[in-house]
Structures are given as structure tokens and as C-alpha cells.
Amino acid sequence: MANSRDLWILFTTITLFYLSITTLAFESDPQTKEHRKVLVLLDDLYLRSSHSTFFNSLKTRGYDLEFKLAADSSLSLHRYGHYLYDGLILFSPSTQQFGGSLDSKAVLDFVDSGHDLILAADASASDLIRGIAKEFGVDFDEDDSAVVIDHGSYAVSEKEGDHTLIVGEDFIQSDVILGKNGIQAPVLFRGIAHSLNAANSLVVKALSASPSAYSANPSSKLSHPPSLTGSGISLVSIMQARNNARVMITGSLEMFSNRLFRSGVQRAGNHNKYEKSGNEQFVAELSKWIFHERGHLKAINLRHHKSGESEKPTMYRIKDDLEFYVEIYEWSGKSWEPYVADDVQVQFYLMTPYVLKTLSSDQKGLYRASFKVPDVYGVFQFKVEYHKLGYTSLSLSEQSPVRPYNHNEYERFITTAFPYYGASFVTMAGFFVFSFVFLYQK
């Protein structure tokens, strides 16, 4: 009996130790990991060689890629309640059904849990892939045979009349998303068009088609106006969810291929020729943003106190002068660096903001502001809500009660009350004179 009890204790100890190690491995901050694990799902393992340049760029940046076929029966994104991967790349546009325990709901839950996703489709995109994209506010052209065609902005190296390999250079204007140097050459794109759902304000275009582009079947004549035309067509879209998970969706799997990475670019009617397309730089810079190598902020050490003091009080009094501090840093890909901006604000909030103050920066990550507590008492909140294109959102709050003056904190003699004081003394003097006259008159 004693031996059975000892074995049970030993088994329980080993199990708890294993679970603690598993939790540490899967729940540590992604920025502190030496290797972030990414699952890559493919329709065909041949893509490992045809798209090797893109995969190798991720590996050199410290990512541990695990390649599997989309129909693999062992597929699973989590185990024992913990996610096994930090990111997911879906290069399996034609798959009708994922293997194992993976399905569209599992992919959505993966993003809802704060993980990142890259999804690439093409003309063979299945309803499964289209459905996943739709959940993120991206609507691919409903015509399964339609691709993006552009007779005004296509690569001249293509055969006469085939204008499906188009040239795109209408990039999103954001240094944090595409890097400070910008994309140095146009991007080659062959694939299907998509539009953005107006109801989803989080998804934006990273690369738009030119005004002369449209979506149609290149092997048949147009019998009706195309449903998607011009700059309304998005070639590559990105989204940052409210939980700061990031998603990239494109209608071109070929855009990531070695062939288009190495191809030169010359647009029809334009003599400017580029020896190499901007595809490699574009997808590399965009993947850095998707996997939080750029634009990732953290805020620490939120504190506040009365002016001239250093300790945080249990509550403030109306009309107190106070000072507010918070530190904000940005991940540079290797370390946390001070984030410098002039648009970070703090709210002193009670139902509505009574104080809205822009924080000043010391250029070293510390932001501060000084203001006077309003003449209203209640339970206030210090709130920092920071939302900026390309950066992770910051949402900080801390409650602090505000009380009125105590009875012994008011001034003994108030200047504006002097007329009332004078009236009181005049009344007393008049009563004394009246009493003296009334009592002693004969």
C-alpha cells in the first residue's frame, strides 16, 4: 500500500513538472525566444524548393519552420491546452479540408489567441481558404475562373496578349510596415483579386492594383462589367486584430516564388527596367511586421503621484496637482528600444474624459504629464489608449479615487465672504445699541 502511494506521488510530481516545462516553453514572450516556431501547410511539398528563398529568409531570422501537407492526419495547433506554434503559414490554396484536428474554426481560434497568420491563395482557391479569408474581412472574387488582368501595367516579358502577370507599386504608406527604406522595385503579381469588407475597419490594403486593372476570366470575352476594377482591387491585405494578432492575405502564391524573386521588371510603355523585382524585399519586410519584428510596443511602469512627492497616494483631493508617468518601448527585432512619438495621450476619466493631456517624451522611453485634478469627486481612471497604424495597440488603465475637501481643509476666512462677515458684526452692533437705548431711555 505504501509503495502504491509513493508511486502515485512520484507520478504526480513528474506530471506537474512536465506540464510546468511545457507551459514555460509555449507561453513565454515570443520576443524572448531564440527560435519562434511556425507551421507551414503546403498543397505540395515541391513548394519547399520552389519557394525556398522565402522560407530561408525566415530561417535566417531565427524561425523554426515545420513543413506539413495540409491533409496530414496528424495536424494540430495545440496540445494540453497550449499552442505548439507562434505563427501559421497557409500555402495550400486548393485544399478542401485540413487533416487532423485542424479546420477553419481552429485557424480562427489560433488568431483569436494572439498568434499570426499568412495566407496565400491563387486561382485554385477552395471554399475553405476563401471562407477563412472572409472571416478577416477579405472577399475574393466570387468567379472561380477570374484572375487579375491589367492591360496598362503588365510585365513586358510575358507573351503577347497575356497580361495576367501584373506590376504593382501602389504600396501602403507606412515605414513601420514596409521599412524605412521603402520597397526599391515594383512587385510582380499573378493571382486572384479581392476586396475589403467595409464592415471590417481593421483590414487595410498593403498593395493595391493600378486603376487599369480588373478581375475577369482571361480565356473568355467579357459579357458583363467586371465586379472588381481599378484601385478597388487589393492584391495584398493586412490586418491587426484588437488582440494585436496580425494577418496577411494575398491572392498570389506565386508572388513568394523564387522565379518571381529573381525576375526583372519592365512595365509596358515604360523604359525603366529593374534587374530584380521587389517581391523578395516586399514579402520579407511585410513578414517582419506580421511576425512582430517591427511595430511591437509595450508599456511598463505606469505611475502617478502628487507634485513634489514620490509615493502614489491612496486617493487624490480635488484641485491637487499631480504628475503622471509611463514608459513605452518598441521591439527592434533584437532588443527593446525607446519608442519616441508626440501623439501619446493620457485621459483622466470619469464617465467621460475630464482631462486629456498629450504626454511629453524624454526621448528615452519615458512619457510624463502634469495636470490639476478637476473639481469633481468620484472614482477616476488614468487611461492610455494608443492606436496607430502599424503599431500594436496599447490599452492601460488604473483607478484612483478623488475626494472633496474635508471640513477642516477649507480656509478659515474666505475673502469673498467678507461682506457677510461685516454684515454679521453690523447686526450685532446694531442690536447692542438698540438694547442700550431701549433699556436706559427715560
pLDDT along the chain (442 residues), means of 10: 53 47 39 74 94 95 94 91 93 94 94 95 94 95 89 69 84 93 93 94 94 88 83 95 95 95 81 87 96 94 92 92 95 91 93 91 94 93 94 93 85 78 90 86 72
CB atoms within 10 A of CB 64: 15
- As a whole number of angstroms, the distance between CA 298 and CA 239 comes to 19
- How far apart CA 401 and CA 410 sit, in angstroms, is 20
Report how far residue 14's alpha carbon sits from residue 28's, in angstroms, rounded to the nearest whole number: 21
- Joined together, the cell numbers standing for residue 274 give 529593374
The torsion defined by the Cα of 53, 59, 63 and 68, in degrees rounded to 10, comes to: 60
Contacts of 286 (CB under 8 A, 6+ apart): 177, 178, 206, 236, 238, 248
Give the bridge partners for 396, in sequence order. 384
Closest to 324 (Cα-Cα) out of 298, 341, 349: 349
C-alpha cell at 172: 501602403
Neighbours of 65 (CB within 10 A): 18
Q: Name the helix (H) or strand (E) containing 110.
A: helix 104-112
Q: Pick from 143, 231, 252, 138: which is nearest to 188 by CA? A: 252
Coil, helix or strand at residue 331: strand
Alpha-carbon distance of 279 to 255, in angstroms, equals 7
Per the structure block, which three cell numbers stand in for 131? 471562407
Distance of alpha carbon 283 from alpha carbon 266, whole angstroms: 20
| Claim: this prediction has a pTM higher than 0.85 | no
**Residue among 280, 288, 338, 53 nearest 179 (CA):** 288
Which are the contacts of 302, defined by CB distance < 8 A and separation ≥ 6? Answer: 325, 326, 382, 384, 396, 398
The angle subtended at Cα 292 by Cα 288 and Cα 298, nearest 5°, is: 145
Q: Comparing C-alpha atoms, which of 170, 322, 176 is closest to residue 231?
A: 170
CA atoms within 13 A of residue 376's CA, in its CB half-sphere: 13
C-alpha span between 158 and 189 (Å, rounded) = 12
* Beta partners for residue 196, in sequence order: 138
Quote the CA–CA distance of 34 and 238 in Å, as a whole number. Answer: 26
Residues 6+ apart with CB under 8 A from 434: none
d(CA 16, CA 14): 6
pLDDT at residue 22, as a whole number:
39
Closest to 377 measured CA to CA, from 400, 398, 397: 400
- Determine the Cα–Cα distance for residues 378 and 349; give it in Å rounded to an integer: 10
Cα dist. 110→67, 102, 253 in Å?
18, 10, 22
Cell numbers found for residue 108: 480562427
